[in-house]
Amino acid sequence: MPVSDIAVQDAPAANLTERVVNDFSIRVATVNGSGSQTANLVLLRSIFRMGIPVSGKNLFPSNIAGLPTWFTIRASKDGYVARRATIDLLVAMNPETAREDVLSLEPDAVVVYDEPLKLDELRDDLTFYPVPFDKLVAGILRDAKLRRLVRNMIYDGVLANLLQIDRQQMDAALEKQLGSKPRAMALNRSALDVGYDYAAEHLEKRDPLVLEPMDKTDGLILVEGNAAAAVGAMMAGVTVVTWYPITPSSSLCETLIDYLQKYRLDPETGKATFAVVQAEDEIAALGMALGAGWAGARSMTSTSGPGVSLMGEFSGLGYYAEVPAVIFDIQRVGPSTGLPTRTAQGDVLTTAFLSHGDTRHLMLFPASVEECYGMAIEAFDLAERFQTPVFVMSDLDLGMNTWMSKAFEYPKKPLDRGKVLDRETLDRIGRFGRYRDVDGDGIPYRSIPGDDMPAFFCRGSGHNEWAQYSERPDDYKANVDRLARKFETARNWLPEPVVEINRKASIGIVAYGTTHWAIVESRDQLLAEADLQTSYYRVCAYPFRDALESFIERYDRVYVVEQNRDAQMLSLMKLDVRPELANRLRSVLHYSGDPIDARTVTDSILIQEGYRVEKAGAQTIRLPHTSGVGGE
């Protein structure tokens, strides 16, 4: 049994007394486009509504219909929401992958499968529950087309019975999912019933997995990161949204459009207080966002790696001409088209320096859906405060998967529109110079077209502090030095890191974004399995705070954990911290396209710390700059 506190015995059936309660992973293997998403979300929400901490991860192909897709639901009484590498219960609906799905299970796992697939012949160390899905669905429906769509709901019914899911909560979850469609509702409910009744009559419970009500989700919500960011952008008062469709970012703007149409029409006139444009490509999307930012709007675009690559030249213009805009990068696996529907943290280095010349960008790293919301709001303030593009570095795992969260709080701070020139300021400073550092913080004042203040000529070519064209060496240098000063000012404005100092710790861990959830769990594992105490520094923004150096100073070895091959965040840190501190940085890397799991982190740290020997063939690539195995 993959769950460590369960005594493993030979015959799984004899194990019924050792129940596994609220602590296992379910994987549903289906075919893309078969309507399984509804069934999976209903299952997820039912568990959530029972008060059990839960997370859902959709592993889907870059395809509209026909290719295999897996949905993983993890119930965790302890509240762990990272992906779990081991699967305890498989629902095998896809004939194409069923064999491999079953063969890859750990011993003692449970399999609910489509009876004709005869999967029980494959192994004798698993618990099998055959279900004749086609026969059951034929009993409810004549229409073959519709059958395909409700067929999946039957496994929800089967699981409700096997795992003791509260049927009332499941009905409520179904209602939530399909409430507005009464006919679909009725059909799906009968599918649930059929599955439930079949299991009750024909399947004798022979496995230890059960779900029992808890009270750990009171007041929580379930939401995807992209939807959370959309709510944040709306609450930030976004006025211009320009975008070009790309997985995994499309749902951000699509959700935003829905919310804007609901909450941002002028109550008196019914007219829009926002504009959304689907651009012809990402170059145009950012060009529009910058044009809008220059003309005083709160503007944004949303994209993923390929779009970020196209945005290079405009990003440099935004940086150098000092134009605000917010760019959400929902990272996916690259390079090139890569794995469009898999997750990664692979755009960190590109984005930090996106565009030619001495360019540096502000980046925020949300780890949770709550931070997607909060940092979306913050990003608009920062973009206007620092008059520069701000990148919100989310990823597919965060953006498209469903996460539990505290309900979002109404923003406490008013909008910060930054240093916009007004009459009073003009009187104070005398002559307006668009790029003059009046206040010594590197941030100049700006005027906005149509606002009756003195105009300026905005350009990406060389300019002096009066915004006049200039190729003079002293003008150029003074200007880029001021930009560097502005960047330094930003360092202490950006969201602070989340630091947990443990006095007994012998090593430090650094992570960012969704990697956080694996760290939470891994730190517990390190303690439980090796009595290894750790401190933790979670990066929330770039440029880094000085606190990063103080953190590294405390430990001989600091593990930077991230989801890319090249240790991108670590490399960025090496550029920033004192050289003697850079040598203390070690890497834990995960880059398969699956979200990182705690086991990977724990094993890698234990090996590097010398507690364990690296398994032959284990995937730990050590790059030249991530010096040696730890525990020397």
Sites for another protein among residues 293-312 (CB under 8 A): 293-299
Closest CA to 84 of 104, 56, 109, 108: 56
Cα–Cα–Cα angle for 594, 69, 224, nearest 5°?
Answer: 65
Cα–Cα distances in Å, from 503 out to 142, 497, 508, 535, 554?
Answer: 67, 18, 11, 8, 10
Q: Which lies closer to another protein via its Cβ, residue 244 or residue 512?
A: 244
Query: In the set 109, 170, 234, 392, which binds another protein (CB under 8 A)?
Result: 234
Residue 313 as a binder of another protein (CB under 8 A): the answer is yes
- Taking CB under 8 A as the binding criterion, the range among 18-26, 161-169, 233-241, 337-345 that sits at the site for another protein is 233-241
CA distances from 447 to 59, 422, 432, 434 (A): 47, 8, 9, 8
Q: Among 602, 125, 81, 19, which residue's Cα sits nearest to residue 5? A: 19
Residue closer to another protein (CB basis): 218 or 531 = 218
Q: How many CB atoms lie within 10 A of CB 247?
A: 16
- Minimum separation from the CB atom of position 567 to another protein (A): 32
Does 239 sit near another protein (CB under 8 A)?
yes
Residues 343, 514: Cα–Cα separation, whole Å? 10
Specify the stretch interacting with another protein by CB under 8 A; choose among 192-200, 272-280, 540-548, 555-563.
Answer: 272-280
Note whether 410 binds another protein by CB under 8 A: yes
Contact residue for another protein among 34, 63, 203, 259 (CB under 8 A): 259
- The residues near 201 (Cβ < 8 Å, ≥ 6 apart) are none
Map the footprint of another protein across residues 314-333, applying CB under 8 A: 314, 317, 321
Q: Is 252 in the site for another protein (CB under 8 A)?
A: no
Q: What is the edge-to-edge ordering of all strands in the sheet holding 68-76?
A: 127-131, 110-114, 89-92, 23-31, 68-76, 54-59, 402-406, 220-224
From 15-23, 140-148, 215-223, 584-592, give the range in contact with another protein by CB under 8 A. Answer: 215-223
At closest approach, how far in Å is the CB of 318 from another protein?
A: 10
Q: Which is nearer to another protein, 273 or 619 (CB)?
A: 273
Looking at 26-34, 67-75, 100-108, 450-458, which segment touches another protein (CB under 8 A)?
450-458
Residue 469 CB, shortest distance to another protein, in Å, is: 7
Question: In terms of CB distance, is 102 or 285 closer to another protein?
Answer: 285
Options 6, 122, 146, 455; binder of another protein; rule CB under 8 A: 455
Query: Among residues 100 and 471, whose Cβ is nearest to another protein?
Result: 471
Please pick, from the candidates 78, 125, 143, 281, the single residue that binds another protein as defined by CB under 8 A: 281
Phi-psi region of 397 (alpha: psi -120 to 50; beta: other; left: phi over 0): alpha
Tell me if 180 contacts another protein by CB under 8 A.
Answer: no
Determine the Cα–Cα distance for residues 51 and 46; give it in Å rounded to an integer: 9
Contact status: 372 vs another protein (CB under 8 A): no
Q: 414 or 628: whose CB is closer to another protein?
A: 414
Residue 218, classified by CB atoms within 10 Å of its CB into exposed (0-12), middle (13-18) or buried (19+), is exposed
CB of 452 to another protein, least distance (A): 6
Q: Are 342 and 382 contacting, i.e. CB atoms less than 8 angstroms apart?
A: no
Whole-angstrom distance, CA of residue 465 vs CA of residue 443: 12
CB distance 288 to 315 below 8 Å: no
Please, which residue, 210 or 458, has the CB nearer to another protein? 458
215 sits near another protein (criterion: CB under 8 A): no
**Count of chain residues binding another protein (CB under 8 A):** 71
- Taking the complex as a whole, the smallest distance from the CB of residue 400 to another protein amounts, in Å, to 16
Q: 189 near 175, Cβ under 8 Å?
A: no
DSSP character at residue 8:
P
